Amino acid sequence: MNRTQTPSGKTGASMIRGSAISLGVRLLDLPSRYGFHLLIAAALGVVETGNFYIVFSTMVALAGFGRLGIDQALTRQLAMDVASGQYGAVRPAIRRALWHVFLASAAISILLAGGAALFANDILRKPALVVPLMLGALSFVPQNLGAAMAGALAGLQRVGFSQMIYSWLWPAIFCVAATPLAATGRLTVANTLVLTAASFTVAAIVGAVLLRRSLREVPHRGAHDTAAEPGYAAVLGLLKSGLSLFSLELTKLLITSAPAIVLGIVASSRETGLFALAWRLALVVNILISGVTGMAAPRFASLYARQDIAALERSAAQAIGLVLCLALPVTLGMLIVPQFLLGLFGHGFDDGASALRVLALGQITAACFTAMPELLGMTAHTRALMRVNAASVVVLLAGLAVLAPMGGSTGASVAASLAIAVNGAAAAWAARRLLGVSPFTVLWRWTAGRLVKR
């Protein structure tokens, strides 16, 4: 493999510039996404917030089965098609992806709506959540269609637009709509879920408009176009790629949502509420990781398509370094003054301080392995990625089974942080073995060299 094609200075400048744009867009999450959580916490209180997050976490977990990783597969496919000049394949791939995401999401919506009573009464043993679970089913189709369009925008290198649709637009819309209800004391779990579905719908419409405009700049035919695959073959290829990448998404979804669902089953709504708010606060670091990864993932696919492994390694190292520089001050704050930070959400939430400290340690570990799982996925090492994710899920579920009943929100936090650490470290080891890259080593040597020069 070629390790010297792209000059390091050019690659570095491009990576840092693109990541800065992506991060700038993702940092809009802070007022919008945290406005979303703050409104809910302030208006509902600890117990009702716990009930909301039991439903919301269920929605997050099931939503992934409506995408099946197709949004990420689309990002990789479009990035490779554009890099190789096969422009004629771009539009058919987008149409196929949107259609299959719609079908899968509709099926998941029907499943949740039909099974809401069984889940709420017999598993959660919380009958009051039957209607909220049904309302949650309204979000799947618009949410996942928006995610598929965001994946297409990322593959076309419209990273800012992609991150807007993926992350901050829908909570911003929610905040605008929900603020009057919260101010007048009329915000409930039910109308919160209805507003969430409406916000996803508006975001999907905006994504469709942006994607349509971006496609105007993509030629309908390319000089290197090959014969088109038969429809069924193209669909199977997209689904196969998507399902492989879905193992990564499923792992993230389970780490994000399983602790709250398990706490909803084995503990009180109060414990669920404490964990949910601590987790959302810890995910400030995840905003930084996702922002850089959103830029890095299509770049990984493009560099691997050109077999430029040296540039691939540098890009991965730069992604880790950028996130660490930004994440360290944030996690220090969570470790030193967790009660103060949680108290901003309202009375009673500061009891989750121990959970926040544990989650902060997990997030700094995640920052050390920024984009490592995505590196495997974007370089077609999907079997290795699936093994890494399977190990992470086993650690998560075993940890929750043992620790959540005993330790409540803190025990669930330990299980989630252990799974995050296993996922990142195992992905970094697999990348070194399969690709011969060691981004953290490159970053360490660069940092040590700078310190010696000083």
Residue pointed to by tokens 């981004």 = 439
Kindly tell me if the per-residue pLDDT of 206 is higher than 50. yes
Give the rounded distance of the alpha carbon of 228 from its chain centre.
32
Sequence-distant (6+) residues with CB within 8 A of 257 are 57, 58, 60, 61
Total Cβ atoms within 10 A of residue 410: 22
Q: Read off the DSSP letter of residue 366.
A: H
Tokens 């771009």 belong to 90
With bands split at pLDDT 50, 70 and 90, how would you rate the model's confidence at 29?
Answer: low
Give the span between the Cα atoms of 40 and 86, in whole angstroms: 46
Q: Tell me the C-alpha distance between 336 and 447, whole Å.
A: 26
Q: State the pLDDT confidence band at 238, using cuts at 50, 70 and 90.
A: low
Answer whether 269's CB lies under 8 Å from 126's CB. yes
- Whether the predicted pLDDT of 236 surpasses 90: no
Distances (CA, A) of 203 to 139, 146, 148, 171, 209: 12, 7, 12, 9, 10
Name the helix (H) or strand (E) containing 305: helix 284-305
Tokens of 11: 């690659």
Please name which of 398, 396, 443, 453 lies closest in space to residue 421, comparing C-alpha atoms.
396
Phi, psi of 308 (to 5 degrees): -95, 80
- At residue 227, the pLDDT reads 47
Q: b vs e for 353-386, b when ≥16 Cβ sit within 10 Å of the residue's Cβ?
A: bbbbbbbbbbbbbbbbbbbbbbbbbbbbbbebbb
Q: Are residues 272 and 410 in contact, defined by beta-carbon separation less than 8 angstroms?
A: no
Q: What is the dihedral of CA 395, 288, 74, 173, to 10 degrees?
A: 110
Instruction: Answer for the pair 298, 75: CB distance below 8 angstroms, yes or no.
Output: yes
DSSP bridge pairs for 308: 2
Say if residue 1's pLDDT is above 50. no
pLDDT tens sequence across 184-196: 989 999 999 999 9
Nearest-Å Rg of the Cα atoms of the chain is: 21
Question: pLDDT (tens digit, 9 = 90+) per residue, 41-80?
Answer: 888 888 899 999 999 999 988 998 998 888 888 888 888 7
Query: Residue 301: what are its φ and ψ, rounded to 5°?
Result: -60, -40
Lowest mean pLDDT among 30-44, 107-121, 203-217: 30-44
Can you say whether the dihedral through the CA atoms of 438, 440, 441, 445 is positive or negative? positive
Locate all alpha helices (DSSP H) within 349-438, ordered by sequence: 353-368, 372-378, 382-435
Question: Which tokens in the block code for residue 3?
Answer: 């390790």
User: Where does residue 221 rank: exposed (0-12), middle (13-18), buried (19+ CB within 10 A)?
Assistant: exposed
Q: Is the pLDDT of residue 18 over 70?
A: no
User: In the structure, what pLDDT confidence band is assigned to residue 2 with cuts at 50, 70 and 90?
Assistant: very low
* Residue whose structure tokens are 């930070």: 341
Residue 230 pLDDT grade (very low, low, confident, very high; cuts 50, 70, 90): very low
Contact 127, 120 (CB under 8 A): yes
Give the largest CA-CA distance in the chain: 66
H helices of 125-268, in order, are: 130-136, 140-155, 159-163, 169-183, 189-215, 231-266
Rounded to two decimals, the pTM is 0.74
pLDDT at residue 74, as a whole number: 86
Average pLDDT of the chain to the nearest whole number: 85
- What's the token pair of residue 168? 């901050």
What kind and span of H or E run contains 380?
Answer: none
The amino acid occupying position 16 is I
> Which pLDDT band holds residue 261 (cuts at 50, 70, 90)?
very high
Q: What is the pLDDT of residues 425-443, one digit of tens each?
A: 999 999 999 999 988 888 8
Strand partners, 2: 308
Q: What is the pLDDT of residues 143-172, one digit of tens each?
A: 999 999 999 998 888 878 888 898 889 999
At 2, phi and psi to the nearest 5?
Answer: -75, 130
Q: What is the pLDDT of residues 320-359, one digit of tens each?
A: 988 898 899 999 999 999 999 998 888 888 999 999 999 9
Between residues 15 and 215, the one the model is more confident about: 215
